[in-house]
């Protein structure tokens, strides 16, 4: 089997030829020390990927599963061997950015798979370590690698701890001190929240609340002064509601770790925005007994880690986007590879749109419903920049690597169509697989449940704001208000 000269993608998308550094580590006694040392050299976070091939592995799809398992992909999802498995493995390897790719018991692998491993190491500019155990002669394998243009070094197993040192073991964290139980927060709306908190919480509880409240106030004021135009502060200026929604989702409220923190942040934000003539209303009546728990983003760090165990990159990324935006993926088909800015994890609006315009039918509804409908119509994700949380960077990089390996260019879609399916259907299926994998069951993914929840003419799309019953409207000037 011959493989093209491996290369490395540079930031501009050009493929640069690379030759990997390959080290064959001889372990003629096949003792337990090698395996023990490999357990101490760290994992992906330390830049090291240790592949433990399944005995008698002979095909590339099967080897791909071993590589994916080394990259912490869910083994249950790996039971189906697919032809695209190796591309997925290479994509996740590219996202992991390893410095060292270690193949334990490499003497069991056929030459073709050794070459594939060399190719994968070259793509990532990583050193390939082949742990050659037992009495098997490594020279034919070394010759095969040389014939493919790879030079190798040879070391003895005793040198491995020096050449590939163990990573210092992290001290286990001390058990966290039991924190004081979180106080109940006042249920009052923002014009009374702080006063009720001051009167109805203990001194310590109020101090903690006031600190967090003050921080949120500061951030809101800072954001208002950083935006080009601010309602109420610049005559004739109009605040961009979409920019405000984006800031609420991605910086102010979405990243809060608990309902407690989110509620305090929301109340502080509401008070500051009211001072500049914007009402950020929160209709909590339909959100259940603990409405503040609905405020933080549902794309939490544990959920991102769970998505990272998906072998298919499109499943992981589409699901992460859907949960971040709390929308089905109807608009994800618009993005191209050129619209993705990896340094900031931002997807920029494309020049042309391909999504089907969501239907919005209006009926006579309560004013609060009209407000939330208006907010939802603002949140067409492909029309505005979308920034993903920082811990999704590996997922994004893996998918971009996968698309490049498919031969996609900057003008090609981020989520291409699969087979005869339309791009929208492909994305929808990817999100279903992803949400099922992480045990998430958002109602807005299922059209039938959408119809059951909102019978009659209704707004079909959901959004981050509507899922939290948040809405924006200007506070009228007294002469205009009725």
Partner 1 sequence: MSPARKHGRGESERSARRSPADRGMVAERMFASPISRFQLAGLLGVHIDDLADANLARLPVHVLIDLAGQTDLHPADLVPDLEPLLALRRLPRADAEQPDPNTRHDAHVILAALTVTRGPLSPGALAEALDWTLERLHAALDLIAAEPDLPAPLTLHRTPRGGYFLAARADLINQEQRERLNTTADLDAFDFPPRFITLLAAAIAHGRTERYAAFKTEHLLAHNELTGLHLLLPVPGEPDQVDVHPDVIYSLTGYQTEDRIAQPPHLALAEHLRY
Binding site for partner 1 (CB under 8 A): 181, 183-196, 198-202, 205, 217, 232-233, 271, 274-277, 279, 281-286, 288-289, 367, 443, 449, 452-453, 455, 473-479, 481-482
CB of 76 to partner 1, least distance (A): 16
For partner 1, the closer CB: 321 or 438: 438
How far from each other are the two terminal CA atoms of the chain, in whole angstroms? 78
**Residue from 282, 250, 255 nearest 466 by CA:** 282
CB of 321 to partner 1, least distance (A): 24
The stretches of 439-479 forming alpha helices (DSSP H) are 447-453, 464-467
CB of 232 to partner 1, least distance (A): 5
> DSSP secondary-structure letter at 297?
-
For partner 1, the closer CB: 265 or 426: 265
CB of 237 to partner 1, least distance (A): 12
CB of 215 to partner 1, least distance (A): 13
CB of 61 to partner 1, least distance (A): 30
The Cα 432–Cα 322 span in angstroms is: 10
**Residue from 209, 207, 434, 214 nearest 320 by CA:** 434
Q: Which residues of 188-222 are buried (b: 16+ CB within 10 A; e: fewer)?
A: eebeebbeebeeebeeebbebbbebbeebbebbee
For partner 1, the closer CB: 88 or 267: 267
The stretches of 276-422 forming alpha helices (DSSP H) are 301-307, 313-325, 367-378, 393-405
The Cα 61–Cα 81 span in angstroms is: 6
For partner 1, the closer CB: 125 or 473: 473
CB of 431 to partner 1, least distance (A): 20
Helix (H, G, I), strand (E, B) or coil at 348: coil
For partner 1, the closer CB: 337 or 460: 460
Helix (H, G, I), strand (E, B) or coil at 477: coil
Q: Name the residue with tokens 């050794």.
A: 114
For partner 1, the closer CB: 25 or 469: 469
For partner 1, the closer CB: 55 or 455: 455
Sign of CA dihedral 13, 19, 21, 23: positive
């Amino acid at each position: 089997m011959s493989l093209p000269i491996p290369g490395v993608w540079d930031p501009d998308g050009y493929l640069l030829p690379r030759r990997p550094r390959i080290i064959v580590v001889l372990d003629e006694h096949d003792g337990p020390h090698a395996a023990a040392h490999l357990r101490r050299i760290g994992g992906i976070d330390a830049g090291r990927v240790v592949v433990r091939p399944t005995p008698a592995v002979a095909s590339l799809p099967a080897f791909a599963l071993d590589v994916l398992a080394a990259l912490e992909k869910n083994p249950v999802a790996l039971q189906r061997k697919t032809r695209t498995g190796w591309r997925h493995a290479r994509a996740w390897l590219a996202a992991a950015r390893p410095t060292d790719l270690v193949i334990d018991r490499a003497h069991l692998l056929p030459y073709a798979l050794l070459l594939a491993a060399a190719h994968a190491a070259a793509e990532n500019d990583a050193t390939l370590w082949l742990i050659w155990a037992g009495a098997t002669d490594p020279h034919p394998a070394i010759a095969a690698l040389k014939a493919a243009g790879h030079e190798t070094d040879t070391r003895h197993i005793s040198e491995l701890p020096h050449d590939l040192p163990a990573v210092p073991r992290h001290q286990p964290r001390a058990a966290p001190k039991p924190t004081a139980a979180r106080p109940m927060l006042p249920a009052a709306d923002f014009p009374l929240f702080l006063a009720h908190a001051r009167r109805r919480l203990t001194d310590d509880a109020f101090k903690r609340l006031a600190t967090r409240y003050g921080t949120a106030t500061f951030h809101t004021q800072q954001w208002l002064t950083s935006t080009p135009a601010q309602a109420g502060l610049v005559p004739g200026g109009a605040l961009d509601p979409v920019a405000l929604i984006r800031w609420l989702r991605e910086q102010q409220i979405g990243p809060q770790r608990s309902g407690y923190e989110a509620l305090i942040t929301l109340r502080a934000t509401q008070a500051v925005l009211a001072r500049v003539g914007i009402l950020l209303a929160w209709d909590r009546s339909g959100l259940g007994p603990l409405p503040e728990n609905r405020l933080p983003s549902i794309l939490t760090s544990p959920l991102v880690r769970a998505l990272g165990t998906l072998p298919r990159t499109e499943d992981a990324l589409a699901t992460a986007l859907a949960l971040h935006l709390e929308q089905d993926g109807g608009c994800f088909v618009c993005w191209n590879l050129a619209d993705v800015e990896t340094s900031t994890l931002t997807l920029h609006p494309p020049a042309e749109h391909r999504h089907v315009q969501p239907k919005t039918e209006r009926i006579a509804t309560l004013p609060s419903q009209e407000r939330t409908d208006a907010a939802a119509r603002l949140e067409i994700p492909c029309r505005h920049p979308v920034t993903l949380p920082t811990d999704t960077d590996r997922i994004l990089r893996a998918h971009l690597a996968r698309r490049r390996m498919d031969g996609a260019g900057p003008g090609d879609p981020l989520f291409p169509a699969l087979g005869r399916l339309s791009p929208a259907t492909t994305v929808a299926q990817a999100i279903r697989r992803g949400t099922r994998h992480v045990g998430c069951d958002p109602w807005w993914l299922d059209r039938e449940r959408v119809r059951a929840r909102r019978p009659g003419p209704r707004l079909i799309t959901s959004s981050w704001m509507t899922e939290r019953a948040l809405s924006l409207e200007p506070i009228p000037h007294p002469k205009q208000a009725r």
